[in-house]
Each structure stands twice: as C-alpha cells, then as structure tokens.
Structure 1
Amino acid sequence: MSIKQISSTQNPLIKHLVLLKDKSRERKKTGTFIIEGERELQLAIKGHYSIETILFYPEIYDEKKLNQFSDDLDIIEISKDVYQKLAHRDTTEGIIAVAKSKSNAIENLNFNTKTPLVLIAEAPEKPGNIGAILRTADAANVDAVIIANPKTDLYNPNIIRSSVGCVFTNQIATGTTTEIITFLNQNNIAIYSAILQDAVNYHEQDYTQASAIVVGTEADGLSQEWRDASNQNIKIPMQGAIDSMNVSVAAGILIFEAKRQRNFK
C-alpha cells in the first residue's frame, strides 16, 4: 500500500477538502463529500458508497488499521495542522475520507416488500433533527426515508455526525412534496400525516398495510398538500402543558407503533 504525505494546510487538495467540508455548493458541484470517523466510514462502505481517498493522522490512527481498506484507494498521511483543519469534530478517530455521493432521486427507491413502511419528513432544517430521524429510521429498519423539500444536503457534516453514520444505512430519497405524494399514490402507499386537526390517536390506525408516516417541523407543521393528500391525520395525545414535541421524538413514537403492529418485522 503506497502512502503519500501532506503536511501543509496550503496544499491545494487540503484547500479543496476544506471547501468540501464547509460548502454545500462544493459538495453538489463535485458529487463528493467528507466522512469523518472510522465507524462512519465503515458504515459508508457497508452501504456501498464509493470511497476515493483516505487521510489519517498517525498520532491518533494506527497505520496498521489501514489494511482493512482496498488497495485501490489513495492513502494520505497528514500532519496535526492539516488534521485540525479538516476535522469537524473535537473528538474523533484520526481518519477522514472522501466519498462519492449517491443519487437520492425518488424513482430510485426499491422496496423488497409489498407493504413498505416509509418515514417522511417535510422541510426539516436542523441537521441534528435530520440525523436523529435517520437514527430512528435505522433502529426501526424502515424501508425508506424521504425528505420533502429539503433545506440542506444530506452530506452536511453535521447530519453525518448526528446520524452516527445512519445516513449511509438507510434508503433515502428527496423530492418536492408534490413529487412524493404522486409517488406514494402510484405505489398504493397509505399516507398518515402527523397533524392535529381532524386527527385520531396514532395507535388507532392500522399500519400493517403499505404505509407512509409523515412528520413536519415543530414551527410550521405539515403543508396543506399533506393535509389534502392524507388518508388519515394522526396525533400523539399530549398530557402536559405543551401541544407538540421534537420532530425526531414524534417520528420515533409513530414508527415504532407501526413496527409493533408488524411484530417488529
């Protein structure tokens, strides 16, 4: 395995990688993104992402561990200064990778069952919430996660971090609300929208059929399109002083009720 070395933060490749880390525009233009951390990298490889380059800081990451990766990769040993320039997290494992992004077009979704369970989030803005939703989806092993009207790209380092790599383990698509509703209708997937108005308690519905559970933001809720398209609005009964909860928590409650009904299959 041939290993290159870069010690200067002014190296053109390092400058490019800093842009890749910080700018969504650069990620979209190049079709690549940064992965930080060994667990996240392993999940990306398991999720069949194409890895182009691995950079490691030898004071933290043992060079011998590089043997687990393909010989076809570019391997670069970097200095402390370069590592600190590229690292997004305060505590990490000393390894960073460059990977190719995947298409998240909704037409690429592929279900292995006639009764898929899909989690949809409309216009989530906070990377932390998106990451938490993806962790919930992975834990429940849903068939797909769809982000409607996305406000940030999926390969934002904060999403990768907060999802602990579950951005790589879920089947994910993005699209406009209109496109997604059309897709659900074409595939005979019932729509259960988390909306307070004209709603029934979430546990009163049957999610053993092909089902999409749709959640919106705490601030704005779901758009009128979802209200019009919904087969049934559902709500989580609130027993305290407030009338809503964090979107990722709500998604977890709803999805795991569906999984309970399906005997966690």
Structure 2
Amino acid sequence: MEFIQSIQNSKVKQWAKLISKKGREQEHAFLVEGEHLVEEAMKAEELIQCLIIQETMQEKYQGWIDECRAPSYLVSEQVMNKLSETQTPQGICAVVQINKHSLSELTEGRPILLALDGLQDPGNLGTIIRTADAAGIDGVILGKGTVDLYNGKVIRSTMGSIFHLPIFQLDLTVEIPRLKEKGFRIVSTSLEGAVAYDEPQYADAVVIVIGNEANGVSQEILQCSTTKVKIPLYGQAESLNAAVAAGIILYEAARQRRKLQG
C-alpha cells in the first residue's frame, strides 16, 4: 500500500481539486470524510474510487482497508489536513464517483418526488435530503440555482443519505412541465392562493416543490403547479426554515400513503 507524505504529490493534487466545484465537475468525483460518511459510501462500494487513511490511524481502520475493493492509500497528517474541510479530521476519507441517475427510472407507478427551486443554504439542502430519505421519498430534483450537491457542508449535513436515494440536478422549468404531462401532481409551497399543507392528497404520483429561502418558488413553477400549499403559523414567527417546512410536508405525504396502505 502506497504511503504519501507530501502535499505536492500528484495524487494529492488531484484529490485536492475535488474540494472545488470546478474540480468535482472535471473529475466526476467528490470527497467524503469521516467514519460515518465513508462507511455509507462503502455500502455503495461500486462508487468508491479510493480510500485515504492517515498513517497514524492505519491500525484503527485496517479492517476498512481490507474490506474496500478500491485502492487504499496511507497519507501523512499534513496530507490529511490538506484534504479535510473539518477542524478535527478523523483520519479517513474517500474519493467517490459521481453517480448519474436517470429521472425516467422514477416516472412509473406512484412515486413521490421532492424538487428544490433555488435553495441556497448548504445546511438546509443536506438536512432536506436527509429528511427526504427518512420519509421514504423516491427521489430529489435540484433545480438551477440550488447550492452544489457535492459541497462539503451539504454532504456532511446529509449524514450519508446522499448515498441512499437518487438525486438529480436538472432544470425545473423543463422537468416540471414534463412530469405534469406524465400525470404527476405538482404541489408547490406558496404564501398566496394556497391551501393548508395537509389538505391535498399525496397518494398519487406527486412532485413537492420547495423554493428559495428568501423568494420562495419561482413564478414560472408556481404557474405550472396543480396545487399551492402553505403551513399555518400560529405564533409570531414570520416564516419557517425551508428544511423544517420540507419536513412537515414530506411527513404529511408519508402519513397519507402509510394510512392508505393500511
């Protein structure tokens, strides 16, 4: 197993490129760090390109090295710090291939999809993906203007859910009308002309659209929507966090579907 000490090593330079969006797009790969995320990546092991272990942690992670079919590298603490975006690196990270899904895989039957229209906050996006995974949503569509899925903070906030469900980066102004033509109901959050979030039926094929934190769902998508919904506010707060709002609506949809299943 190769031991890499210098941050000037060509492999280290290639891995470090993955910290930037441009580098990820060029290499079609991204970095995950920490025990939990690497473990989740290993469960989807066909995606792992290599495992990177800090030399001083080799004994701790030897079982992971033995289990991983992809190449493993030992690196110095200096190299690990170069690759890490956290204050206290756990001494393990992995390079993971970006997996391309096809939305056509999810248009049959009665899927429930979540679409995010220009969501900007990485923590919000990661939390929403984690919540969608927990609620049993079939897939997530990230519209233009949404923060990069492979941003380090997004990945950490998903807590591994990024590996559990298909996520697409598409133009909602193109895909939402297509899905509507295929029979999907389009349920968008809005403050105007909206009914309470628990009034619509979510049992059939449906896309739930959550908008930008400040501006909400774009007018173009709202005009294409079947139903507009809002969450009542009973206190003095002016609005709900986008991730919280998404969780409330997704779990209402999950509740309705579970009730129908008996």
TM-score using structure 1 length = 0.91
- Among 94, 99, 104, the alignment partner of 1:102 is 99
The range that moved more, 73-82 or 34-43, is 34-43
CA distance in 1, matches of 2:206, 2:146: 24
Q: Which runs of 5+ in 2 are unaligned?
A: none
Matched ranges for 1:184-223 at <5 A: 184-223=179-218
2:136 aligned with 1:141: yes
The range that moved more, 155-164 or 177-186, is 177-186
**1:44·1:169 contact (CA, 8 Å) conserved in 2?**
no
Q: Which runs of 5+ in 1 are unaligned?
A: none
Q: What's the counterpart of residue 79 of structure 2?
A: 82
Q: What's the counterpart of residue 8 of structure 1?
A: 6
- Among 236, 243, 246, the alignment partner of 2:241 is 246
Backbone CA RMSD of aligned residues? 1.8
Q: What's the counterpart of residue 154 of structure 1?
A: 149
Tell me which amino acid in the other structure corresponds to 1:89: T
> How many percent of aligned residue pairs carry the same amino acid?
34
Tell me which amino acid in the other structure corresponds to 2:31: I
- Among 116, 120, 133, the alignment partner of 1:121 is 116
Tell me which amino acid in the other structure corresponds to 1:100: Q
Deviation at 1:63, TM superposition (A): 4.1
Q: What's the counterpart of residue 50 of structure 1?
A: 47
Q: Any idea what SS the aligned residue of 1:182 has? A: helix
Cα distance, 1:110–1:250 mapped onto 2, change above 3 Å? same
**1:143·1:171 contact (CA, 8 Å) conserved in 2?**
yes
**2:32·2:96 contact (CA, 8 Å) conserved in 1?**
yes
**1:14·1:82 contact (CA, 8 Å) conserved in 2?**
yes
**1:109·1:173 contact (CA, 8 Å) conserved in 2?**
no
Deviation at 1:109, TM superposition (A): 4.3
Deviation at 1:189, TM superposition (A): 0.8
CA distance in 1, matches of 2:193, 2:121: 28
Cα distance, 1:108–1:261 mapped onto 2, change above 3 Å? closer
TM-score using structure 2 length = 0.92
What CA deviation, in whole Å up to 9, does each residue of 1:31-66 have, x standing for no partner? 111111232123224346521111101323524221
The range that moved more, 157-166 or 43-52, is 43-52
Cα distance, 1:128–1:109 mapped onto 2, change above 3 Å? farther
Q: 4+ runs of 1 displaced by more than 4 Å?
A: none
Deviation at 1:28, TM superposition (A): 0.4
Q: What's the counterpart of residue 158 of structure 2?
A: 163
**2:177·2:224 contact (CA, 8 Å) conserved in 1?**
no
CA distance in 2, matches of 1:258, 1:193: 13
Tell me which amino acid in the other structure corresponds to 1:164: M
